[in-house]
């Protein structure tokens, strides 16, 4: 005799999710999807299921994606040599063409296809569409290891969001479509700029005053000095942990994006591991969470 699944347990799980669904009903949730999870087709299908389930549950999900590894592979395939300054890639005219092709082309449409394949109605856009995002040239600094002095880096056509026009996104969400956004934008100078996906997501979330901004990454969240997950932080906590060296390296710009979004009206930001199956659902629809929750305080 075939053993039947415990349907009562499944029903109980659904019932426990109800108050969470009610909390987020008709609320905007922006998910930044990146890291190595993007290169795993099985993980991508699971992510697409989560996004469609959010939309079917009454939320208004948006997706912003990165694509650094894929850009690097395409540059290598085309024989375009990259220059690095301070450990960061310089984006020249040839590179930005590849960036736009990979981000706004292949990756964007692949994500749209995955979501559509799970029954969602997704639409792929980038910051240039409808003048959605205007960018300016980003000014980066780094400390010279020999002189220990701060120096300004010219990274070429690397931009940061200057203005977000939310009209296009409002229209898309009103039509009950799921926007999938590539972080490429125009500048006032007419140039195309490559924008960091985290920064792009923070600007969009702030302009839309999203209920949640979820940054899916390759680590469980923010870790303490013993490498244990910190489940919740305030902005003040974040500043203290950066000052005392607990938060270092690539986590610092992510935290800065979190603080930027919170300052512009996002209720809370979560940094979580995109490699965990159904991490988005665990964070939004259960009491357990799946990463580090950051609030204004």
Binding residue numbers for substrate: 67-68, 89, 194
Nearest alpha-carbon partner for 63 in 244, 274, 256: 274
Please state the separation of Cα 68 from the chain's center in Å.
13
Beta strands at 268-273 and 212-217: parallel, antiparallel or unpaired: parallel
Euclidean distance between CA atoms 255 and 273, whole angstroms:
15
3-state secondary structure of 153: strand
Are 209 and 264 in contact by the 8 Å Cβ rule? The answer is yes
Q: Are 192 and 128 in contact (CB under 8 A)?
A: yes
Binding positions: 67-68, 89, 194
**Short-list 85, 113, 84, 78, CA closest to 99:** 78
Beta strands in the chain (DSSP E): 28-33, 60-65, 84-85, 88-89, 122-126, 133-137, 140-143, 150-153, 158-164, 178-182, 184-187, 192-195, 212-217, 232-234, 268-273, 291-295
Can you read off the two tokens belonging to residue 83?
Answer: 């220059």
The tokens of 124 are what?
A: 């792929």
CB-neighbour burial class of residue 69 (10 A; exposed 0-12, middle 13-18, buried 19+): middle
Q: Name residues whose C-beta falls within 8 Å of residue 75's C-beta, 6 or more positions apart in sequence.
A: 82, 95, 98
């Amino acid at each position: 005799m075939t053993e039947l699944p415990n349907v009562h347990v499944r029903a109980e799980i659904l019932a426990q999710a109800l108050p969470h669904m009610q909390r987020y009903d008709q609320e905007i949730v922006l998910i930044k999807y990146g890291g190595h999870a993007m290169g795993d087709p099985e993980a991508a299908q699971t992510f697409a299921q989560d996004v469609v389930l959010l939309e079917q549950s009454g939320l208004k999900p948006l997706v912003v994606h990165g694509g650094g590894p894929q850009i690097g592979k395409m540059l290598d395939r085309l024989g375009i040599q990259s220059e690095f300054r301070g450990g960061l890639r310089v984006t020249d005219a040839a590179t930005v063409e590849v960036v736009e092709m990979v981000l706004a082309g292949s990756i964007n449409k692949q994500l749209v296809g995955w979501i559509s394949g799970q029954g969602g109605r997704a639409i792929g856009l980038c910051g240039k569409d409808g003048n959605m995002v205007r960018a300016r040239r980003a000014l980066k600094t780094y400390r010279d290891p020999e002189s220990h002095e701060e120096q300004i880096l010219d990274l070429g056509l690397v931009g940061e969001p200057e203005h977000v026009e939310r009209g296009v996104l409002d229209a898309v969400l009103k039509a009950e479509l799921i926007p999938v956004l590539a972080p490429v934008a125009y500048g006032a100078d007419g140039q195309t700029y490559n924008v960091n996906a985290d920064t792009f997501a923070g600007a969009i979330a702030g302009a839309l005053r999203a209920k949640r901004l979820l940054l899916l990454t390759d680590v469980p969240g923010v870790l303490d000095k013993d490498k244990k997950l910190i489940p919740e932080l305030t902005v003040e906590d974040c500043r203290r942990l950066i000052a005392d060296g607990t938060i270092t390296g690539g986590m610092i710009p992510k935290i800065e994006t979190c603080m930027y979004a919170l300052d512009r009206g996002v209720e809370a930001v979560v940094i979580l591991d995109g490699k965990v199956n159904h991490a988005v659902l665990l964070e939004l629809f259960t009491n357990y969470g799946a990463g580090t929750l950051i609030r204004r305080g």
